[in-house]
Structure 1
Amino acid sequence: MAYNPEAWTKSSNELVISLCDSESKSSFKPLMTYPIFGEAEQIFGYKDLKIDLAFDAITFKPFVKVKYAEKLNDEVEDVQEKLLEFLPENDTVVDDEIKWVDSFSAEQENLPNYDGIFEKIDEYTSKKEDFVVYKTNFRNEYAVKLLKRLQIFVLFFIEAGSYIDTSDLKWELFLVVKKSDNKIIGFTTTYTYFKFDNAKDFDSNTEIATRNKISQFIILPIYQNGNHGSHLYQAIVNHWLRDPLVKEITVEDPNEKFDDLRYRQDFKRLFNEGFVSKLPENVKSINRDWFVENASNHKIEINQFKKLIEIAYVFLKNTKAARLLIKKRLYEKNKDGLDDLDAAIKKDKLQTAYDNYHLEYSNLIKGLRLKDNFEDEPVAKKQKV
C-alpha cells in the first residue's frame, strides 16, 4: 500500500471549541492555532484526528478529549500533551466527561458573588438581556483562576497574542457577565504605566499619573454581533475618564476590526461632548500644541486623536480642512521616502492616499448614524493608517 502523507495530516485549526451549559452546547473553531501547534498549523501522524476542547460557560472549567483512528508511530508529537501545556495545570479534565460535569456543577453551586469580589463598573442591556461589566486585579485569587482558564482564547483569536504575568500587579482584568446566569461573554486585560514628562515632574508629584493600556480584548464568538465589544470598550474608557490619575488611554497593537470599534466609540464621544461642532473652520490654528492640549483633555493618545480630527472634518464635510490635515500627517510620516520622488509623483501619491482615507472615513461615519450626513458612496477597503 502506498504511503499517503495527506491521510496522516490534519489542520490544527479544525480543533473544535465548545461552550456548554446544562441545556445546550455551542461550538466554533479558532482563527489560529500556530502558538500551540506551530506556524504551519498542521498536525502530522494521526488518522481521523478529532480534538475537542470544551468549557463550562460559567466557570470555564476546561475539558479535553482527543480521538483518532490510528497513530503513525510513537515518535509523533502527542497532541493531547501539547494542548495541555497551554491549559491550567491540574485543573483540566481529560476524557472523563462525567467527572468534568460533576466538577463544574459543584463549582457553580459555590460560585462567589461577583458583586462581592469584583468591582462593578457598568451595566447595559443587549437583545433584552442584562449584562454587567466587572473589574478586578490579580490580588484576587479567583481572578487568577479565571484568567488561567480563559487565556487560551487569546492564542486562538488574537494575532501574536501571549499569556500575561499575573504576578505583575499593574495588570487588571475586565469581565462581561450575563446578569441572569453569570455566563462570561468576554474579557479584557489592561496594563497601567506610570506617566510623567520629566524627572522634575515625577519628583514633584505625590500622586503619580498613569497611562492605561487595553491589551487583550475578546468577545467570545457565540456572543458577537450584540454590541458587547462597544459596551465593554466604552465601560473601560468611562471608568478611566472618571479617574483623575489616568491621563491617557491607549490600545496595544489593535487589529483592523478593533481599530474600527475604537474609532467609532472615540468619535461618538467627541461628538456627544460637542467637541466636533466647535472645531475651527480654518485649520491654520491647529498645530502640534493644539493637538497635544486637546488630546490630553480627552485622555486620547496623540496619534489616535489626530485621526479622529481628520474623521471629524470629513463628517463636517469640510473637504479643504480634511485634505490639509490628512496630507500633512501622511507627508510627515513618510517624509524621507516622499522627498526622494519627483514633485508630480509625490503630489499624486498624497492625493491617492487622501482619496482612500476620505472614502474610508466616510464609510465609518455612515455606520455611526449620528445624522444623515452623506450621500451614497462606494464601500472602501480598509486602509492602514
Structure 2
Amino acid sequence: MSARDFKPETWTSTANEALKISIVGENAIQFPPLFTYPIYGESEKIYGYKDLVIHLAFDSIAFKPYVNVKYSAKLEDNDVINVEEKLLSFLPKNDVIVKDEAKWVDSFMEEQKNHSLPDGFKTISEYSLGGEEFVVYKANLIDNYARMMHHRVQIFSLLFIEAANYIDEDDSNWDIFWLLNKKTKQLIGFVTTYKYWHYLGAKPFDENTDKKFRAKISQFLVFPPYQNKGHGSCFYDAIVQFWLKDESITEITVEDPNEAFDDLRDRNDLQRLRKMGFDATLRKHSELPDEFLESSRKSFKLEERQFKRLLEMLLLLNHSPSFELEVKKRLFIKNYDALSGIDPEEAKQALQNSFLLVRDDYSRILDSLNISEA
C-alpha cells in the first residue's frame, strides 16, 4: 500500500459521479443523476471504495433494470455501506438483473418481442415532433402492467426531481401518463397525477350531483436523452387539454414545481389563454371586476396563483394601465405583515423593488415566446 491509500479522499466517491445511468436502444446513452441523496445520504458521498463505478441501466422500451457495481478495492469496515444493496432497495424486487449483462439483454429482448400495451392504457393525444410521431397514454395504477412499469421507472423521480418520494400505489386516485414514440415504442417520459375531491358547497353535496375533482401534476419527467427537444411542452399540453375536456375536473394544480417547470407551465398556459381569446377579451375591459376574473379562472380550470400570474403577464403584454396596480395589489396582500411593520416610505420602496423584479421576470417569459409587448 502507498501513502495515498491512507488518505480519506482515496476511499471517498461523489455519488453523483459514481452513478452512471444508461438507457439502451440502438445505442446506449449514458448520463449522470441530478440527485443521489435519497439513496446514498445528504452528503451524496460514498466512503469505503476505491475507483467506484455504479452502473444502472434500462432498455429504452420495457425499462428492465440492470445493476453492476465495480471497484478496485473495498475497506473492511462496519461503517462501509453495501452500495449494491442500497441501490437495489429502491428498485423493484425480483425484477432486476445484477452483473449478468447477457442475461439482462436476453431478458429485455424477449420482453420487447412481445411488447404491447394492455387495454388499461388509454390514448389521450398524439403529436409530431422532429419528423417522428409520439403518443400520450393514461393508465391507473390498478392496471398490473402500469404498476410494473411504474416500479421500474419510479427511481428516476428520486434521481431527477428534488424532494421527490415514491407515491402510494395502493391509492386508486393516482393516474400515470406515459409518453411513447409511436413507431419505436420507446418510453420518452412519464407523469404521476392525483385527483382530489373538490367540495363545491353544501347544495351540490346534498343534491348528490356528480363528484368534482382537482387534478394535480405531481412528478413530471422527460428522460434526459429526450430533453430540450420540445417534448415537455407537448406532454404538458396533452395532459391539460385532456383535463379541460373532463367535466369532473374543476381545477388543475401542480405540486411544488421547480423553476424550470414553472417556466414551462407559464409559457404553455399563456399561449393557451391567448389562443382561447382571453388576451383579446382583456383589451375590451378598462376595469377588471372580481366576478369577471373569477368566472374566467374557473373556465380555464386554473388555480388562483397561476391565473393571477398569467393575468398579469397578459396585462403587461397589452401595456394595460391595470398591470402595475394588479401586481402591487397582489404583492401587498402577500407581504402585508412584513410591510405593515416598517416605515411607510421603506414599505413603498420595497413594494416597488418587488414589482420591478416581477415585471422583469414576466418580460423574460414573454421574450422566450417571441411575444413582444403590444
TM-score, normalising length: structure 2: 0.96
Task: Indicate which of 271, 275, 282 corresponds to 1:272.
Answer: 275
- Pairwise CA distance, 1:282: 6.2
Q: Does 1:135 align with 2:138?
A: yes
Structure-2 separation of matches of 1:281 and 1:352: 30
Q: Deviations over 1:45-95 (max 9, x none)?
A: 000001000000000000000000000115210000000000000000000
The aligned counterpart of 2:263 is: 260
Q: CA, structure 1 residues 283+349, in 2 after alignment: closer, same or farther (shift >3 Å)?
A: farther
User: Which amino acid is 2:298 matched to?
Assistant: S
Q: CA, structure 1 residues 42+203, in 2 after alignment: closer, same or farther (shift >3 Å)?
A: same
Secondary structure of 1:187's match?
strand
The aligned counterpart of 1:312 is: 314
The aligned counterpart of 1:346 is: 347
Q: CA, structure 1 residues 281+353, in 2 after alignment: closer, same or farther (shift >3 Å)?
A: farther
Aligned pairs, number: 369
Task: Indicate which of 194, 197, 200 corresponds to 1:197.
Answer: 200
Secondary structure of 1:60's match?
coil
Q: Does 1:82 align with 2:86?
A: yes
Q: Does 1:60 align with 2:43?
A: no
Secondary structure of 1:112's match?
coil
Structure-2 separation of matches of 1:30 and 1:286: 48
Q: Deviations over 1:22-54 (max 9, x none)?
A: x31001000000000000000000000010000
The aligned counterpart of 1:100 is: 104
Secondary structure of 1:307's match?
helix
The aligned counterpart of 1:20 is: 24
Structure-1 separation of matches of 2:246 and 2:356: 39
Structure-2 separation of matches of 1:285 and 1:118: 43
Contact 1:8 1:47 in 2 (8 A): yes
- Pairwise CA distance, 1:112: 1.9
Structure-2 separation of matches of 1:169 and 1:218: 21
The aligned counterpart of 1:4 is: 7
Task: Indicate which of 296, 299, 302 corresponds to 1:297.
Answer: 299
Structure-2 separation of matches of 1:124 and 1:88: 32
- Pairwise CA distance, 1:280: 5.2
Structure-2 separation of matches of 1:91 and 1:280: 58
1:119-198 alignment to 2 at 5 Å?
119-198=122-201
- Pairwise CA distance, 1:229: 0.6
Contact 2:283 2:318 in 1 (8 A): no
Q: Deviations over 1:87-129 (max 9, x none)?
A: 0000000000000001101111111246x44111111111111
Q: Which deviates further from its counterpart, 10-19 or 191-200?
A: 191-200
Q: What is the alpha-carbon root mean square deviation over aligned residues? A: 1.4
The aligned counterpart of 2:324 is: 323
Structure-1 separation of matches of 2:338 and 2:254: 28
Contact 1:134 1:174 in 2 (8 A): yes
- Pairwise CA distance, 1:199: 3.8
Secondary structure of 1:341's match?
coil
The aligned counterpart of 1:217 is: 220
Task: Determine what percentage of the aligned residue pairs are the same residue.
Answer: 47
Contact 2:52 2:70 in 1 (8 A): yes
Contact 2:213 2:249 in 1 (8 A): yes
Structure-1 separation of matches of 2:165 and 2:106: 31
Secondary structure of 2:180's match?
strand
Q: Deviations over 1:166-187 (max 9, x none)?
A: 1101000001100111000010
Structure-2 separation of matches of 1:260 and 1:324: 23
TM-score, normalising length: structure 1: 0.93
Q: Deviations over 1:223-271 (max 9, x none)?
A: 0111101011110000011111111011000000000111111111110
Secondary structure of 1:279's match?
helix
Structure-2 separation of matches of 1:118 and 1:295: 31
- Pairwise CA distance, 1:139: 1.7
- Pairwise CA distance, 1:276: 1.1
The aligned counterpart of 1:32 is: 35
- Pairwise CA distance, 1:321: 1.3
Secondary structure of 1:31's match?
coil
Secondary structure of 1:107's match?
helix
Structure-1 separation of matches of 2:332 and 2:243: 33
Contact 1:30 1:156 in 2 (8 A): yes
The aligned counterpart of 1:286 is: 289
Secondary structure of 1:285's match?
coil
Secondary structure of 1:317's match?
coil
